Each structure stands twice: as C-alpha cells, then as structure tokens.
Structure 1
C-alpha cells in the first residue's frame, strides 16, 4: 500500500515516508513551552524511554487516543488480472497540527477521492496527495481510491505488502493503532499465511472471505499477507 503521512509544522524535525503509512507528527496537546522543554531535555531517563524504531507490540492500548489508521481492501477477480483493488482508508485521532499531507505513490494510485472529514478546516486532493489544513481535536478523514497492491510471486502465490507503518516524532517512535481488512470477493484466492504471526498485541482473524489484523504498537511495522490461487478466474 503506497501511502505516507507527512506533517508540515513548525518545530517538526523529521518527515518519513515509504510503503504503507508513515507518520511524522507533533504530539497531541503539546504547548509551545512543552515543545521547547522536549528539545532542551536530554536526560538519560527520557532517552531510555524512547523507542528508536524496534517493533514492540502493546498488550494494553495507550491511555490516551492515538492515531488510528484503518484500511479496507477489496480484492475481486479483476484484481487477480490487474493487481488493482478498491481501498477505503480512514485516519482517526489525527495529531493537532496546522498542516499535513497524505502522500501516495503516483504509479500505484488512481481515482483518489475524499469521502468524509471531521475536525479538519480544509482538505483537498492534489495529484496523488491529500492536503489537510487546520487539524483540530478528534479529527478524522476517510478516502476511497484504487490501489495496485496484489502482487504475483514466482511460486504462483500472491501477496499484499503493507508498511512500514510508524508514528515518529523527533528522536523516537510512539504508539499507533492500525487495522487492516482484506476482503476477498473472489473464489480464486485462499489465505496462506501472514507475517508477523498472530500474537499478543497483533490480533489476526481469518475467514473464507476476509483476513483482518488489528494491532497497537511502537516502532516500525511491516506486514506481508500471502494467498494461494484456486482454479482459474473467468476471462
């Protein structure tokens, strides 16, 4: 899933990108004084507590709401032929900043539209990006697009590769919530496996028509879902 989330705000020192979602954002509810204290604070206790990128699944969700990235990907017979699938993507609990942008890889996205938004002063599509201004509390935006995400493998299987998902601020990585649903609207694909495997903090649910994971984590998360082909689709 070729998407990144970049924050354009004063005092923001990083902008990360990649496949899936990358989030570089100011912490919610941080005042100007708190930001200055953050920059000036180099105590060993703070440094020791910062996640520097190592993936850590959280058994218990954080006490405060954090960015929730939710994808619903619908795969049908046409997707098997072309790799293109419908993607509905929502971002909730956005960090309160003046300006952000959601950036997709141009060669892997088409028909990008905004379905809804709340708590956001302005939002518009610009090429393969969605531009956001004046992000308020409890902000949320939902999009619909076509994304080229289903890829064939040499052994005859297929995969959907997502990530790296991350929420990064200055020198560390902070909690994030990601939900991914792959809905199978074809009889010609069957779930094979997923990486990482289901575990505490990374819950996976598989049925004949859907693969879903829900996770709370810190660091960088990349996922790989593999499918086997069953029979020959029409056409």
Structure 2
C-alpha cells in the first residue's frame, strides 16, 4: 500500500498507469537537493501550520494542522506518523477521497481521486528543550518516495510562536534557492521545493537570555550548516 509520511519516513505510491522504467530512471537517490519552484509544479504539495504556545515550552507538544494536495490517485494509501510523536489525531476534511479515517498513529485512505485533498489536525511533539533557555523545533524528514527513489515535493511551514517570550537564533538548512524563510507578524513562513529527504530545525532562545544559542547541536543524523536567522 502506498504511504505518505508526516513526521518520519514518507514513502509514496505512483499511479499504476505511469511507466515504471521512466520513473525509476529519473529518481533522486535520497540526497537532499533543492530545486526551483517551477520544477516542483504539480508535485505533492504539503502545507503545515504549527503553533507554539506557552504550554509547548513546558511540554514539547505543538498544535499541527496539515494539508496534502496533488496526491497521486491510488486505490488505498496511508499517512504515517511516529507513534510517540503524535496525539489527538483527527481528519479535518477531505475531497475526492472515498474514505479517510484515523487508525492509531496513521490516517488511512481509500479511493484517492485525481483532485484529492486531505487536511488533518493533531498535536505533534516537535519542540525540544535543549537546556540553558534554548528550544528547537524539528520537523521531518519530509520526502516523496517510490521504491528506492525520491521525487519532487513542495512543503510549506507556517510557524507561530510567542515572540514576547522567544527569539529566533538559528535555522537549518540555510536560506537558498528552493528553501526560503520569511518573518511574519506572528512567526515564520517557510517554503521548500526539493528532492530527497528534508529535515528542518529552527532554534529559539528565551528573549531575555543573551548568552543562549551559541552551542546548539547539529540538526538530525545528517547535519547541514546552520545559519543565523534571515533578517
């Protein structure tokens, strides 16, 4: 059964009528590669709204609203979450999907149509206290996978956080073509177009702690360069 990932590995199926040899010849082998926005036109579009509250700083749980568009039409599929990283999972709404329901830490789908859209709500344990007033919001790996290959994907993160309490001190990956970070009135807007596996980390410090943030650990098991936040 095809599966789309949500916070961990995300294998994804393709329509049966597509030519398998052509797909395999064009795939990425998993190494992260950012691509221009137009190169991801029509690809799986994955939107996330993440809200960090005062309670999140104590407990690590953030509010998550997640929507999937441009899903491949398949008879059955599932969206998988890490078992200990998700709670209160619910289907918010669906379109052009015969049936969508929660089963444990997954969302099961039947009869996914060509214009399918799915939105879900949950709480995700994505915020970690690293000590000394430093917090990390870590998401991913995001990927669009079939067999041993990875295909173009577009991910958008809208991150709200209590600016009166926190200040952004670092991000991974760095801002570049295919990975853009913009400040908003309430937080951050992130847009990524890529092939392979993407893990994002955003580091925050207590606003009154000027010494925080200098020695944050690398992001994930395959570290990439950290940067200071986008001005």
CA contact (8 A) 2:40 2:152 kept: no
Matched, 1:24 2:11: yes
Q: Deviations over 1:199-225 (max 9, x none)?
A: 111111124621221011011111111
TM-score normalised by the chain length of structure 1: 0.80
Instruction: After TM superposition, give the deviation of residue 64 of structure 1 in Å.
Output: 4.7
Aligned position for 1:222 = 199
Aligned partner of 2:45 among 55, 65, 68: 68
Distance 1:170 1:108, change over 3 A: closer
Matches of 1:171 and 1:129, distance apart in 2: 22
Distance 1:16 1:143, change over 3 A: closer
State the aligned residue count.
Answer: 209
Instruction: After TM superposition, give the deviation of residue 62 of structure 1 in Å.
Output: 2.9
CA contact (8 A) 2:144 2:153 kept: yes
CA contact (8 A) 1:191 1:211 kept: no
Matches of 1:16 and 1:141, distance apart in 2: 12
Aligned partner of 1:171 among 131, 134, 148: 148
Which protein is bigger by CA-based radius of gyration?
1
TM-score normalised by the chain length of structure 2: 0.82
Q: Deviations over 1:163-218 (max 9, x none)?
A: 11111112321100001111014521111111001111111112462122101101
Aligned position for 1:90 = 67
Aligned position for 2:82 = 105
Instruction: After TM superposition, give the deviation of residue 107 of structure 1 in Å.
Output: 2.1
Superposed, 1:14-163 pairs within 5 Å as 20-28=7-15, 30-31=16-17, 34-35=19-20, 38=21, 47=25, 49-62=26-39, 64-163=41-140
Higher percent of residues as strand: 1
Q: Provide the secondary structure at the position in 2 that maps to 1:23.
A: coil
Aligned-CA RMSD value: 2.4
Matches of 1:67 and 1:56, distance apart in 2: 16
Which piece of structure 1 moves more, 204-213 or 76-85?
A: 204-213
Instruction: After TM superposition, give the deviation of residue 105 of structure 1 in Å.
Output: 2.1
Aligned position for 2:226 = none
CA contact (8 A) 1:161 1:223 kept: yes
Matches of 2:73 and 2:189, distance apart in 1: 29
Instruction: After TM superposition, give the deviation of residue 63 of structure 1 in Å.
Output: 6.6
